[in-house]
C-alpha cells in the first residue's frame, strides 16, 4: 500500500497544482478521526480557500472532480466524499489495501525501514556513575536510549551509542572511603560510620574482593587490587572497575550495548576543559566576580548567569559538559540526543548557552534532550523501595530477575518518558490480555502456530491471489499494517518509542479480532493461501516492531 499511497499523493499534488500553481506542496493525507468516514482525509481545500478567495467546499468539489478523473484514483479509490466545510474523505478499494501484504512479505525484516541517508547520530544514555548498581531509573533510560537508537537506524541513520560517566569527584571519593571502611571491618550503623557513606551489600562485596587481591574486568578497563587497606587510590580504582563490571552485567542482561565509554576525567587530562574555558574567555563571554569565573549565559536565554569556576578553583559540573559536547561536534556528530532524568532539566539551558558562547559553529538547540521521570515499583500490591543488593533502591537486575528482560523493556517504554510510571511486577508476570507484552507476543506466537500447522513454504505466500481478503476484519488489519512505516518515522522524529508499543498493541488487537472472525486453515486453497499471507505479514510486522523495542518475538508461548 506504500506504492498506492505514493501514486495517490502524486495525483493529489498534480490536482492541487491544477487548481493553483505551486499548491502541490500542500498534498498530504491524514487519518480520518472517524474510521467510517474513509481511509485517508485531505484538508488542502480548506487551506487554499483563503488565498484563492474561494468557498472551501466548492474548492473541495472541484478537486474531487479532478481526482476522480486521474488514473491512480480510478484504480485504487472506491469513493471520495466531501464533509463539513471542505474535508475530503477518501475510501480505498479492497485491492489497494491488499497491496500491503505483498509489500511486507517482499521486504521482510526491512519493511518500514529507510535506506541509508548518510547522516550520523550520537545517542548518549544511561551514563551512570560507577558508584553502585543500576537502578530502575537507569533501566528506563537504557530502554529509551536503545529504542531511540533502533528507531533512528530504521530511518537510515548511522547510530553511535555512548556511555559517559564521572570517574572522579565527590561521589567516587565517597565510594572509595566507604569500601575502605568495610575493608577495615566497619559496618553501616557502627560508631564511626559516616552518614553519607554508601550502605549497600555491594560495598562489602567490593571490600572482600579487594582484600583478596582479585582482578576485575569491564568493557573499558581492567584492574588488580593491591589488597592493602591503606592504599586508598588502589581501592578507588578497584571499586570503579568492579562496579563498571557489575553495570556491564546489568546491561548485558538487558541486551544493551555501547560503542564507546567516555570518561569525564579524560576531559581534564586531555586539556579539553581548560581549552573550553579559554575559548569562552577569548570570546568575551565570561567575567570575574566574588573570586569566581562566571559565564554570561543570560545572553543565550538562561535565567541567570552561571558560575564556571568556583572561588576554590574547581569547576562546576556544567563546564566539562560543555567541553564534552564540543568533542561530540568535533567528532562529526551534527545530531546528538541525550537521554537523562528530569533532574537534569536545569542543565539544558546552561550547556546550550556554553556551546553558543564558545563560538564553535554549533547550531542553537544542540544537543537534543529526552528527559524521563523515575519509576515506582509495585509488588504484591505494595510499593517496593529498597533492595538488599543496593541498600536504598530497586535495581534493574532485581526487576529483570523478578519478571523478564522483555517485560521490563516493554513496560518501561509504554509511557511517554516524562510521564511518571508505576511498574507492576504482578502484571508483568500475568499471562493474560491485561499484560501488554504478553498480549503482543502471544499474537506473534499464535500466528507462528498457525503457519506451523499449515506446514507449507512461507516463501510461496508472496505471490498468492489476495482477492479473498474482503472481510471488515481483514481490511482493518491491512490498514493497520500499512501504517507501520509512517508510525516508525514519526516515532523517530519525536523520540517516542512509546508510540511503537501503542501501535503493536493495536496491531495485536486487530489480529486477534481477525482470528476470531475468520478461520484461516480452510479447505478452499485460494482462500487459505490469502489468509495465510495476511497473517504471515502480520507476524513479520509484529516481529519488526518488537525488535525496535529490543523485545523478543517468540514462536511458542
Task: Calculate the alpha carbon distances from 36 to 90, 191, 302, 325, 508 in Å.
Answer: 11, 73, 49, 50, 21
Q: CA 340, CA 372: separation in Å to the nearest integer?
A: 6
pLDDT of residue 166: 85
Strand 120-124: give its sheet, edge to edge: 260-263, 158-165, 120-124, 335-341, 368-372
Residue range 2-92, CATH number = 3.30.1360.70
433-549 matches 2-92 in CATH topology = no
Domains of the chain, residue spans:
2-92, 170-253, 433-549
Nearest-5° angle of CA 416, CA 421, CA 424? Answer: 130
SS3 263: strand
For residue 299, how many C-alpha atoms fall within 13 Å in the half-sphere facing its CB?
16
Whole-structure pTM value: 0.92
Contacts of 525 (CB under 8 A, 6+ apart): none
Topology of domain 433-549 in CATH is Isoleucyl-tRNA Synthetase; Domain 1 (1.10.730)
pLDDT of residue 207: 98
The answer to whether residues 507 and 450 touch, using CB atoms and an 8 Å cutoff, is no
pLDDT tens track, the chain, 557 positions: 788 999 999 999 999 998 889 888 888 998 888 878 889 999 999 999 888 889 999 999 999 999 999 999 999 999 999 998 999 999 999 999 999 999 999 999 999 999 999 999 999 999 998 888 899 999 999 999 999 999 999 999 999 999 998 887 788 999 999 999 999 999 999 998 999 999 888 999 999 999 999 999 988 889 999 999 999 999 999 999 999 999 999 999 999 999 999 999 999 999 999 999 999 999 999 999 999 999 999 999 888 999 999 999 989 989 999 999 999 999 999 999 999 999 888 889 999 999 999 999 999 999 999 999 999 999 999 999 876 565 678 889 999 999 999 999 999 999 999 999 999 999 999 999 999 999 999 999 999 999 999 999 989 999 999 999 999 999 999 999 999 999 999 999 999 999 999 999 999 999 999 999 999 999 999 999 999 999 999 999 999 999 999 999 999 99
The answer to whether residues 148 and 370 touch, using CB atoms and an 8 Å cutoff, is yes
Other residues' Cβ atoms within 10 Å of the Cβ of residue 104? 27
For residue 405, how many C-alpha atoms fall within 13 Å in the half-sphere facing its CB?
15
- Enter the C-alpha cell of residue 44: 488542502
For residue 481, how many C-alpha atoms fall within 13 Å in the half-sphere facing its CB?
33
pLDDT of residue 390: 59
* Closest among 396, 392, 418 to 407, alpha carbons compared: 396
Q: CA 536, CA 162: separation in Å to the nearest integer?
A: 36
Amino acid at each position: 500500500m506504500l506504492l498506492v499511497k505514493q501514486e495517490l499523493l502524486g495525483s493529489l499534488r498534480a490536482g492541487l497544482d491544477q487548481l493553483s500553481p505551486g499548491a502541490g506542496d500542500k498534498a498530504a493525507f491524514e487519518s480520518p478521526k472517524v474510521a467510517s468516514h474513509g481511509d485517508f482525509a485531505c484538508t488542502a481545500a480548506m487551506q487554499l480557500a483563503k488565498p484563492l478567495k474561494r468557498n472551501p467546499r466548492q474548492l473541495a468539489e472541484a478537486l474531487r472532480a479532478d481526482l476522480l478523473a486521474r488514473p491512480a484514483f480510478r484504480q485504487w479509490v472506491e469513493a471520495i466524499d466531501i464533509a463539513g466545510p471542505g474535508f475530503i474523505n477518501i475510501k480505498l478499494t479492497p485491492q489497494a489495501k491488499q497491496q500491503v501484504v505483498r509489500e511486507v512479505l517482499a521486504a521482510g525484516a526491512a519493511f518500514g525501514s529507510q535506506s541509508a541517508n548518510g547522516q550520523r547520530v550520537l545517542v548518549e544514555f544511561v551514563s551512570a556513575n560507577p558508584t553502585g548498581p543500576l537502578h530502575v531509573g537507569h533501566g528506563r533510560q537504557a530502554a529509551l536510549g536503545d529504542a531511540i537508537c533502533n528507531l533512528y537506524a530504521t530511518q537510515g541513520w548511522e547510530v553511535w551509542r555512548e556511555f559517559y560517566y564521572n570517574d572522579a569527584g565527590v561521589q567516587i571519593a565517597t565510594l572509595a572511603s566507604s569500601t575502605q571502611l568495610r575493608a577495615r571491618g566497619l559496618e553501616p550503623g557502627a560508631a564511626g560510620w559516616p552518614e553519607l557513606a554508601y550502605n549497600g551489600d555491594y560495598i562489602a562485596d567490593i571490600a572482600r574482593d579487594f582484600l583478596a587481591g582479585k582482578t576485575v574486568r569491564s568493557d573499558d578497563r581492567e584492574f588488580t587490587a593491591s589488597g592493602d587497606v591503606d592504599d586508598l587510590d588502589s581501592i578507588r580504582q578497584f571499586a570503579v572497575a568492579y562496579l563498571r563490571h557489575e553495570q556491564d552485567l546489568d546491561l548485558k542482561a538487558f541486551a544493551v550495548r555501547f560503542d564507546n565509554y567516555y570518561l569525564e576525567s579524560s576531559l581534564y587530562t586531555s586539556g579539553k576543559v581548560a581549552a573550553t574555558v579559554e575559548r569562552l574567555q577569548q570570546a568575551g563571554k565570561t567575567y570575574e566576580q566574588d573570586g569566581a569565573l562566571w559565564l554570561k549565559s543570560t545572553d543565550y536565554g538562561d535565567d541567570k548567569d552561571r558560575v564556571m569556576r568556583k572561588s576554590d578553583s574547581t569547576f562546576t559540573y556544567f563546564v566539562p559538559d560543555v567541553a564534552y559536547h564540543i568533542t561530540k561536534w568535533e567528532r562529526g556528530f551534527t545530531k546528538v540526543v541525550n537521554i537523562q532524568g528530569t533532574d537534569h532539566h536545569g542543565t539544558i539551558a546552561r550547556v546550550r548557552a556554553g556551546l553558543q558562547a564558545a563560538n564553535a559553529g554549533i547550531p542553537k538547540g544542540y544537543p537534543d534532550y529526552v528527559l524521563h521521570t523515575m519509576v515506582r515499583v509495585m509488588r504484591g500490591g505494595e510499593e517496593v523501595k529498597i533492595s538488599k543488593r543496593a541498600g536504598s533502591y530497586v535495581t534493574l537486575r532485581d526487576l529483570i530477575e523478578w519478571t523478564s528482560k522483555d517485560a521490563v523493556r516493554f513496560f518501561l517504554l509504554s509511557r511517554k518518558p516524562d510521564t511518571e510510571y508505576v511498574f507492576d511486577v504482578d502484571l508483568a508476570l500475568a499471562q493474560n490480555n491485561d499484560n501488554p507484552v504478553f498480549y503482543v507476543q502471544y499474537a506473534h506466537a499464535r500466528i507462528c502456530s498457525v503457519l506451523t500447522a499449515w506446514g507449507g513454504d512461507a516463501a510461496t505466500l508472496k505471490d498468492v491471489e489476495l482477492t479473498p481478503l474482503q472481510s471488515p476484519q481483514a481490511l482493518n488489519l491491512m490498514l493497520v499494517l500499512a501504517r507501520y512505516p509512517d508510525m516508525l518515522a514519526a516515532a523517530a522524529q519525536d523520540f517516542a518509542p512509546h508510540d511503537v508499543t501503542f501501535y503493536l498493541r493495536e496491531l495485536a488487537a486487530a489480529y486477534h479480532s481477525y482470528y476470531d472472525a475468520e478461520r484461516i486453515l480452510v479447505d478452499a486453497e485460494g482462500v487459505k493461501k490469502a489468509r495465510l499471507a495476511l497473517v504471515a505479514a502480520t507476524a513479520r510486522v509484529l516481529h519488526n516492531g518488537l525488535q525496535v523495542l529490543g523485545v523478543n518475538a517468540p514462536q511458542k508461548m
